[in-house]
Structures are given as C-alpha cells and as structure tokens.
Structure 1
Amino acid sequence: MWRLAAWYAWTTDLQTYEYLPALPETCLPSGSDTNTGSSSSLSRIKTWLDICTSSHPACSQAGSQPPPLPTRVIAVGQKGSSRCHLVSGKKKHGYYATLSHCWGDSKNRPLTTTEQTLRSRQQGIEDEELPKTFQHAVQVCREIGIEYLWIDSLCIIQEQESQEDWAKEAPRMGLVYGNSMLTLSAAAAANSTQGCFEERLGLVFWPCPVVLSGQACYLSRYPTQEEELHGNPGDLERTLRNSLARRAWVLQEQVLSCRSIIFFEDRLIWRCATLSTNEKYPLGIPHAPNISVDNQRLMHCIINGIASFMPKDLGVDIYTCWYRMLEDFTHRSLTYDEDRLPAIAGIAKRFGVIVNDSYHAGLWRRDMILGLLWHPTSSSPTQTTKSARAPSWSWASLNCGVNYLHLLSAGSDAGRIPFSPLVDILEVSDPTTCENHPFGVTSKASLKLLGVLLTVVEDDHEDSGLALAENATRFAGNIEDYSQDISRWHSDSPAQTALVCLPVCVRHDPYHQGIRGDGELYKASWEKSLKTGVDEFKQFNRLFCLVLQAIEGKQGTYSRVGTCTIGKHKTIEISRMAFGERRSLTIV
C-alpha cells in the first residue's frame, strides 16, 4: 500500500527536515544500487553523519577537539589504500570508528593480535588478510573520511596467559565506545567472515519522486503500525532479532555509542539520540519518536545527560530503565561466563555518576530493596550451582536470564509501582577485588539487614512447593509463586529442607487483574492496616520475600535460594510482624 507524501518539508518536535532534493545526488539510488555497501549507500552514511554532527545538539561531542584515542587503533589509510596499520593511540587525539561484530564459534575466530603477532600488525596488514567484516569496516572508514578504526580482537592483545592487556582495556570499553565518532554494527553477520554488506535492491526502500497532476510528490510505503504508534522506523523488532543483538557485550556497545550505523541484510539503519531512521525515511520519520519504547536509546540519553531530548511528561524512572536493560542483558549470550559483570561495567560506571549512587555486585545501594527481588526466567536452563563471582543475592551469580516484571510497570509505562519496604539495610560490605576494574570482574559483597525471619519448608503438597512451617496447614496457600534460583532437588536430598523467608516489601499494585487503579490509595490503606489490622484494599497489596538458607557454622549468615510471594490473606499479618521483633542478619 502506498501513501502520497508532500514535497514540502516534514516537521517534527525535534527539527524541521530539509527538502529531500537537498540531499547530495550521490545519495540517490540507481539501478546499480544493489548492495548495502554501494557507493550511494556509503554516501548516505556520510550524509547522516554530517547531519548529526552539524545539526543535532544532543549528539554533538563536547567541544570541538577530537577525543583521546584508545590504547591501540587501526590507521585505515586513505581512499584507494590496500593496507592498514595497528598504531599506538597513547597521548594522541583523533576521530575513530568502532566495530560491533559477532566473533562466531571457534571455527570462525576473527583475526586477532597476540604478543607474537603484535609487531607484524604494527608493520601493516594487507586488506586481503582481513576477514570480510573487517575489510568492509575499513572500507566504510576510508570512504566517509574517518582516519582510525577500533576492533576489539585486533586492538586488545588476545591469548595472554596473564590476561594483562584485557584487564587494562576492559575497564576502558565504556570510553572507547562513548568517544567513538561512529559505531559500525555488522548485524547480518554471524561471524567475521560474512561481512557487513549484503546484496539488495536499494530502489525498493527509497521514496520514489513522481509528478501527479503537475504536482511533484514522493511515493513511500505506508507506515507500519510500529511506525504509526511509536515513531520507530519499523526496525525495532528486527534490531532485537539479529545475531549481534544476542551478544551480551554488544548491549554496552549499543547503549554507549554516540551514533551507530547498522548493516542489516537488506537495509541500513541509522541510530543516534536525535534520530532513528533508515533509507525508507532518509531524512527521518515524519513525526517524533516515542523514546520510552526504545530502552537502549532512552538509557543512552540518561547516561549522557541528554534530558532536553526527552519529553517532559515521559515520567521516566531511571532505575526502572536499568532493570529493563538488565533483563535484556542477562538473556544475551557470553562466550565466557566470568564476563557477567565486566560486560556491563561501562554502562554501570556512567549510570552511577548520573544517579549519584554506589554499585554493589550489579545492584544499586539507593534502590537495593527492589534490586534484590530479581528472579530467573522460566525459560532459563536448570542450574545446579551458583557462581562465586558474585554474592548469592546478586543476579550476576547465575548464568541465566533474570527479570523484574513482577515489580515493574506494565506496557511502555516507565513509572514505578509503589512499594513499601519491610527491611532496613544496615550495611553493604563490598571489598575491592580489582583496583583497575571496580565495576566488573568479581564481587565479594555482603548485606547486613534488619528484618523478621519466617521458617518455611519445601512441601510437594503445596502448589507453590513451599509452606510456612509455623501455624500453617497444608493446602492453605500461604505462599505463592516460589521461584528457586537453582534446582534443589537431587536424588540424595531429603524430601523437605528447612529454609527461612525474609519479607522484603509490599507492592501496591495499580494494575490488579488488568484494571488500573490508584497505587497510592492502596498504599495508604495498607499503612492504616498496620494499626487497625484491616485493609479494605488487601487484594491490591502483595508481599514479596527472599527465601534464604542458613550457612553452616556462621550464625546469623544466610545465602539466597529464591524468592516467593505471600498470599494476600496473610499480607497484613506478616506486614505487622515485619515491624515487630526484628533481628539483624547477613546475606552473602
């Protein structure tokens, strides 16, 4: 289906776009535009880059001076060159691009720099020695005039027994992508041999100029429902499906990069804080994007302080954006499970500055109550152990996806569901495990809390598999939705294992059974019930708990084994207990 688009400029809340004819002629497609790496495709990239750097205040890098170069970069050479060099970036400034790519399996390992090959890489690398993805990235830089290129496998020394270079460079990854002029994302390639460029017909995507009844017009494809509702150029779902988007390290690259050009199998997509578009809308979609549905761009704006771009009525809750990003991150793959914390450390460092908060094993001190209540997703593989790289109360201790859906707002609403804490955090002990990498590697943090402990047992006869041990009868349904962090059922295990339950908070749910209510009203009713014992809105107040197990030989010390919710008929009783005789406990 086609829609007529007027020849005059499209106007949005962000800016007024120039006439399409004002684009350089080299951008216009022709019958020979049959590849995403064609001369007209590369001209479009350069034009988008020029528009962004010259007329997007939110995207402009601070000052007019080029940024410091990373420790090592690839000098790509001029147009027509057939050789590039690995050079030192120490004490130098310049504009450079970064490559975001899939390493692939061991059979398709990308070209690397090792201690043995470092000297030869500095002497020069012929283009034909580079895998196709690297060749294409070098070609793009030459064509659009970016002097340097950073590729992780070539610019960080690999296969070191001591991992010394990786230990130094990993903490700098946030700066590498944050200072990059442009990130090139090879989204269609599963490994470095497949390249950035793909065959396609460029004319299919470009608005078609026609003359109807003497009036010059453009014909373009009718906007999709996604475009009409959210202002995204029909590529959000496609972005989430590609191979690159399934890599955990890439999320950091996507969020921290100032601007990106994404090479899909049939189109180019441009993304920056101000504009998310493709060749279907070469000068931008004709209405302002709803940034709240694109958490990556929203997080980019948050950590870069680009508040002027976000609508004033967005109602953004910064920590909610963090939790949504965590859900995305933990469902992505890592070649090395030990990278669970390092792969998100760059974002954490920037985020911590913005919220002025301290970071402990992947959780934030000022929002620790909610942060503790993650749970593994139902699609996660069965786990038998937790990793010692992080404390048991951290999502980073598991090698599976986690979510916070039970505590976050529904749909695209970025606000918070009101909740009331039932514990006090007395102390967070977090000894430094790596001086050069405080936001990554490992964490030996522990929590000292003040709260009430309820004895519980695992019970096959209960639907949840868990029951309150004191004053409880079977089939009472006192405990709901028991979610285990790891599989605790083994052939040599006893039928029942004594555990404890720590009430953490009460959620005042404004979305009960699909009906949006007033969470603050439910909260007020719950607070009143602490004195009266009667809650007129008890069905809207739900109690969330941690399930803990005592550590043998360490009095008052526990490890987390899961989460659960208390049945609504017990919320008032347990809430009143939680403010009664409390005790201090430590979770490690």
Structure 2
Amino acid sequence: MSDTNTGSKASISRMQAWLDICTSSHPACNRGDTLPPPLPTRVIAVGGKRSSSCFLVSGTDKRGNYATLSHCWGNPNNRPLTTTDKTLTLRQQGIKDEELPKTFRDAVRICRELGIEYLWIDSLCIIQEQASQEDWAEEAPKMGDVYGNSYLTITAAVAADSTEGCFKERLGLMLWPCPVLLFGQQCYVSRYPTTDEESGGDPGDVHPTPPHPLNDRAWVLQEQVLSRRSLIFTSNHLVWRCARMSTSEKYPLGMPHAPNISTDNHRLLNCIINDVIAVEPGKSDIDIYTCWYRMVMVITSRKLTYEDDKLPAIAGVAKRLAATGYDSYHAGLWRGDLLIGILWNSTTLTATETNRSARAPSWSWASVNCPVSYSSLISAGRDASHIPISPLLDILDVSDPPTCAEHPFGMTSKASLQLLGVLLPVVEDESEDSGLFLIEHGTRYAQDISSFLPDHWGLNPSAETPWYCLPVCVQHDPYYRGIRGDPEPYKSSWKESLKTGFDEFRRFNRVFCLVLQAVREQQDTYSRVGTCLISNRKGTEISRISFRERRTLTII
C-alpha cells in the first residue's frame, strides 16, 4: 500500500480504525453518553467530503459531535486566520478551503474524512482583536469544557504556525508492520520496542527528539490532559491517545505490552479526571497531588504570551478535579495538601515583582514569572505516590474571595493563608553559603540553613520589613542509592526525637521552611520571599521549637 504522507489513504484508514475501536469498545472514553455533547458557542460546519467551503455557525442550544484543533499560533507577524468583529459576518457566509491556512485546511479534511460534522478552532471561533476582550473573557472559562467534550482533538504537533499543516511527507513502509508468510502462516514483523516504549509505553510523542513546537506552549497542556481522544500528527507518523489506548502506526492495534501509565502524567490525569482510574487521596498508590505538582512544573516551564494566563491556562483541569469532590482549589493549590503545595521553589530567578498580588498571592507558584519545581518534595520517576510528611504548623483558614465570579478557577488575587506556627528571625548575608543566618537571642548561627532559594532577585529585608523562617513540615524520605524504603522507622525516630532531642535518622528527616517578609503597616501579616532547608544538625531542635512557641500569622 502506498503511504508517503501522514494524510495518505492508508493513514486516513488508520485514523478511522482507531476512532471506531475507541467509540465501540472503550466505555470510559465514551463516558456513558446517550446524547452528543452541547456545541461550543461557535463552531465551523465543515461539510461533506466533496465540500469546498466551510461556515462559522452558532452552536448555542445545539448538540453535536465536534473536533477541536490543537495548534501553535506562531510568530505574531504570521498570525493564523482569525475572526474579528469586522470579519464575523464574512466567516458566517462561508470560508473557501483555499482561504484556510494549511493546518486549518488539513484539520477540515480530517473531519470530513472521519464524518465529524463540526470543528472548533480558537482563532476562528473566539472573536479576536476586541479592545474590551469581551468575547475572550466569556469564552476562556469554557475552554476546559470545549476540549473535554470534544469528540476528537486533532493535534498539529510539529507545525510551528498555521502555515505548516498537519500532514508531513514520510516513508510509511518503514513504520508500518511488514506482512510476511512464515511456514505457511500470515505474520506481521514489527520493529523491536524502544526503551521508552518498553518501560513507559511512549508511542512517540511523550518525549520526542527534538521536542515538538506545540509542547512548548502552556495553553496546550490543558488540551492534552482534558481531550478524551487525541490524534497527533508528528514529523513522520500518527499517534493515537485515549484513556484506554496509547499507540502509533507501529502498533496499529495498541502497544503489545502493559506500560506503566504513571510515567505519562498527562494521560494519568486524564484517567483520574474521567474515573478510569479510581484515586482517593491517602488511599491509593497513585497520589493525585503528585500528579498535579508534576503538571505545574511542566506548565511553568512552557511559554505564555501573557503571564497573567498562568491560572486560566489550567483552569479547566482544576475545575474537573474539583468536580470530583476530593478537595477545594485555591490559587493553583489544593487545600488537602497545602503544606507541600506552598513549598515550590523558583528555578530561574527574575527581577523583583512590583505587583505580585495582581495575579495570585505570594504563596502561590502562579505569582512568579519563571519555572518552578517540586522535585525535592515529590516522588521521582515512575512512582506517583506521596512521600510522607509531618506538619510543623497548623493551617487555620484559607480566605479566597472570588475575583471573577464567571472564572473562579482562573482568577484569584485576594487569597490569604492564616497559620499557626513559629517564626524564626533571619538575616541576609552573602558570606554564608546559603545566604541566610538564623538569629537566636541576637546571636548569628552559621550553617543552620543548608539552602535558601529566593523567589526573585532584589528581595531584601529591612528594619521595617524583617525576614523570618517559618518551619512548615518534616519530610520522611528514606531514599538511598536509588531505592525508596519504608518511611515508618524514620517517622518514628523523628517523633521520638521530640521527647529525647536525638533523631537516629535525621539525615532522612528534612525540615522544609518558607522564608517570609513582614508586610509594612500590617500586623502579623507576611509575604513569601522564598524557601529554605534546615541543616541536618539543626532539624531536631527546630522541630521541637515548632511545637512550643507558636503564633497566628497571615500570608498574603
């Protein structure tokens, strides 16, 4: 069979086969639907296989199966075709196929070939270039539902902009299984699975080399997590991803082994959101919070045109997780795991923010304009379990008044935490390795803080706004030489040390802290300036102090 393009007849047949398998035999992917989903506010009616035009139509109060396009807008000087107030009527009257940029034209053809009546493309279905951004403000909160209800997400993974298209030239016979006659039996010969395929079930899009341009965009992560079915067009092959099957043309009927799904965090979150995998906090091998922190690390490392979109870009995922009823959501963190949630650290420092609270409170990762990490606090590799901790403070209240009633998961600038804990005075000193000294009774103690990770450059204490160290928790992490052991002996040793002052396993019981700065003219109110670790030799003492000299404080 001739197959020199990912849009060939053979490729179209493969797309149709995967879609038929999923819709007919994957109940989890169909979610018990008895009716097609509600259509988005506007959709593109693509027409039949012989159509040469498509139309922007209203989806209000209508139901139907529709596809979504996940794509890169690219350079601002080469923007995709858009709908504006001026062109809205023209788009409704019809768009000829030759007017569409190649990526859009390919997506329309895919829908026609697969019998999907409607297509949603953000630049055409949301009105652009409005001074008031009225339509964007109304449609942005719905983005999660748009992708979550989509029948199929078409992903132009390697197209840097809308002109490059979904379909790519390739030698398909190098990828497809080869039919052979062996001892009178019809057989198929395939390449041996790669290491990534064997260990993690990577069908070729999880860790591509070089990285796909689309995987560099923050908004796309939500699309990857929420889409029930994704058809991904890479540089030389097709990839299919749904809750029950992750595969490529190399294995047309699915990966011939049982990959560990926890290595694919996007698909794992998708399965949790859609109840394919039952997960209950504290009662499962898979920890939903660990999955969330991994996603946060990914999204903060991706590009955003507007930094204020950090929370809106994952609002759809947060909304779906909150709907499970497990937990409440506050400024990008979850109430049930706030002790870990507030201990993120910046990995690339930027200049001091002058108005951090405009987007999120200082204790939220969304308040900084750089990648953040939880790597020292969560399990690594394939393990998605929660590393045990013991609290060193109490969370009394989370105040989170809605900033925007229409978009509660995307805007949260006035949230604050009320805590009961210990504040240890610190001073900044560049001569100390960590950059900070603990002060006890007016005396400096060197090497008590083993590391200090500031949120920004240019943050400095003063007489009016001094700095403090706030012990948050002890992590019991028996990770040694690549093996994570039973944490209970380490936890027991730490508990005993609260009485005796001696911890047999103190090197594995690490004390994590926030570094806070007093807010001028607001009593007992502080903002976050970074995180730090207490040195092993001081950990037991700080743990004991944390249960004796507590006070109520608020972090904004």
TM-score band, normalised by shorter chain: over 0.9
Secondary structure at 1:63 match in 2: coil
Q: What one-letter code is carried by the residue in structure 2 that aligns with 1:391?
A: P
Cα shift at 1:523: 0.9
Separation of aligned partners in 2, 1:56 and 1:240: 32
- Is the contact between residue 439 and residue 445 of structure 2 (CA under 8 Å) also seen in structure 1? no
Q: 1:524 aligns with which of 464, 472, 492?
A: 492
Are 1:550 and 2:518 an aligned pair? yes
Q: Which residue in 2 is equivalent to 1:236?
A: 206
- Is the contact between residue 113 and residue 154 of structure 1 (CA under 8 Å) also seen in structure 2? yes
- Is the contact between residue 203 and residue 248 of structure 2 (CA under 8 Å) also seen in structure 1? yes
- Is the contact between residue 274 and residue 309 of structure 1 (CA under 8 Å) also seen in structure 2? no
Secondary structure at 1:185 match in 2: strand
Cα shift at 1:96: 0.3
Deviates more, 1:211-220 or 1:477-486: 211-220
Separation of aligned partners in 1, 2:209 and 2:246: 12
Secondary structure at 2:208 match in 1: helix
- CA 239–477 in structure 1, closer or farther in 2 if over 3 Å, else same: same
Are 1:222 and 2:192 an aligned pair? yes
Deviates more, 1:436-445 or 1:540-549: 436-445
Secondary structure at 1:444 match in 2: coil
Please list the CA deviations of residues 244-271 of structure 1 after superposition, one character each: whole Å capped at 9, or x if unmatched.
0111100000100000000011000000
Q: What one-letter code is carried by the residue in structure 2 that aligns with 1:230?
A: G
- Is the contact between residue 200 and residue 264 of structure 2 (CA under 8 Å) also seen in structure 1? no
Secondary structure at 1:277 match in 2: strand
Map of 1:123-522 to 2, 5 A cutoff? Answer: 123-238=93-208, 241-307=211-277, 315-377=285-347, 380-385=348-353, 387=356, 388-470=358-440, 476-488=446-458, 498-512=466-480, 514-522=482-490
Q: What one-letter code is carried by the residue in structure 2 that aligns with 1:559?
A: S
Cα shift at 1:236: 2.3
- CA 63–459 in structure 1, closer or farther in 2 if over 3 Å, else same: same
Deviates more, 1:516-525 or 1:160-169: 516-525
Separation of aligned partners in 1, 2:445 and 2:160: 51
- CA 495–34 in structure 1, closer or farther in 2 if over 3 Å, else same: farther
How many residues are aligned here? Answer: 552
Separation of aligned partners in 1, 2:384 and 2:490: 20
- Is the contact between residue 292 and residue 314 of structure 1 (CA under 8 Å) also seen in structure 2? no
Separation of aligned partners in 1, 2:463 and 2:543: 30
Secondary structure at 1:574 match in 2: helix
- Is the contact between residue 359 and residue 365 of structure 1 (CA under 8 Å) also seen in structure 2? yes
Secondary structure at 1:269 match in 2: strand
Secondary structure at 1:92 match in 2: coil
Separation of aligned partners in 2, 1:309 and 1:526: 29
- CA 135–412 in structure 1, closer or farther in 2 if over 3 Å, else same: same
Q: Percent identity?
A: 65
Cα shift at 1:356: 2.6
- Is the contact between residue 352 and residue 456 of structure 2 (CA under 8 Å) also seen in structure 1? yes
Cα shift at 1:381: 4.8
Q: What one-letter code is carried by the residue in structure 2 that aligns with 1:248?
A: A
- CA 234–122 in structure 1, closer or farther in 2 if over 3 Å, else same: closer
Separation of aligned partners in 2, 1:89 and 1:240: 38
Cα shift at 1:581: 2.0
Cα shift at 1:485: 0.1
Please list the CA deviations of residues 469-499 of structure 1 after superposition, one character each: whole Å capped at 9, or x if unmatched.
2268767310012000000269xx9899841
- CA 489–393 in structure 1, closer or farther in 2 if over 3 Å, else same: closer
Q: 1:576 aligns with which of 544, 548, 555?
A: 544
Gaps of 5+ in 1: 1-29
Q: What one-letter code is carried by the residue in structure 1 that aligns with 2:382?
A: S
**TM-score computed with the length of structure 2 as normaliser:** 0.96
Q: What one-letter code is carried by the residue in structure 2 that aligns with 1:532?
A: T
Q: Which residue in 2 is equivalent to 1:14?
A: none
Q: Which residue in 1 is equivalent to 2:503?
A: 535
Separation of aligned partners in 1, 2:209 and 2:454: 32
Separation of aligned partners in 1, 2:184 and 2:150: 46
Q: Which residue in 1 is equivalent to 2:45?
A: 75
Q: Which residue in 2 is equivalent to 1:27?
A: none
- CA 246–563 in structure 1, closer or farther in 2 if over 3 Å, else same: same
Cα shift at 1:314: 7.5
Separation of aligned partners in 1, 2:106 and 2:63: 24
Q: Once superposed, what is the RMSD of the aligned Cα atoms?
A: 2.1
Q: Which residue in 2 is equivalent to 1:97?
A: 67
Secondary structure at 1:425 match in 2: strand
Q: What one-letter code is carried by the residue in structure 1 that aligns with 2:429?
A: D
Q: 2:528 aligns with which of 560, 563, 572?
A: 560
Cα shift at 1:441: 3.0
- CA 513–248 in structure 1, closer or farther in 2 if over 3 Å, else same: same
Separation of aligned partners in 2, 1:513 and 1:446: 40
Secondary structure at 1:221 match in 2: coil
Are 1:38 and 2:8 an aligned pair? yes
Separation of aligned partners in 2, 1:554 and 1:110: 49
Q: What one-letter code is carried by the residue in structure 1 that aligns with 2:502?
A: V
Cα shift at 1:450: 0.6
Separation of aligned partners in 1, 2:528 and 2:459: 16
Separation of aligned partners in 1, 2:299 and 2:203: 23
- CA 429–87 in structure 1, closer or farther in 2 if over 3 Å, else same: same
Secondary structure at 1:227 match in 2: helix
- CA 519–240 in structure 1, closer or farther in 2 if over 3 Å, else same: farther
Q: Which residue in 2 is equivalent to 1:16?
A: none
Please list the CA deviations of residues 91-136 of structure 1 after superposition, one character each: whole Å capped at 9, or x if unmatched.
1000000000000111111111111111111111111111110000
Secondary structure at 1:90 match in 2: coil
- CA 227–160 in structure 1, closer or farther in 2 if over 3 Å, else same: same
Separation of aligned partners in 2, 1:424 and 1:239: 45
Separation of aligned partners in 2, 1:542 and 1:341: 30
Q: What one-letter code is carried by the residue in structure 1 that aligns with 2:396?
A: L
Separation of aligned partners in 2, 1:521 and 1:111: 61
Separation of aligned partners in 2, 1:239 and 1:249: 21
Separation of aligned partners in 1, 2:342 and 2:480: 23
Cα shift at 1:524: 1.1
Separation of aligned partners in 2, 1:274 and 1:545: 41
Q: Which residue in 1 is equivalent to 2:24?
A: 54
Gaps of 5+ in 2: none
Q: Which residue in 2 is equivalent to 1:25?
A: none
Separation of aligned partners in 2, 1:253 and 1:326: 15
Secondary structure at 2:143 match in 1: helix
Q: What one-letter code is carried by the residue in structure 2 that aligns with 1:117?
A: T
Cα shift at 1:410: 2.6
Q: What one-letter code is carried by the residue in structure 1 that aligns with 2:276?
A: I
Separation of aligned partners in 2, 1:495 and 1:434: 37
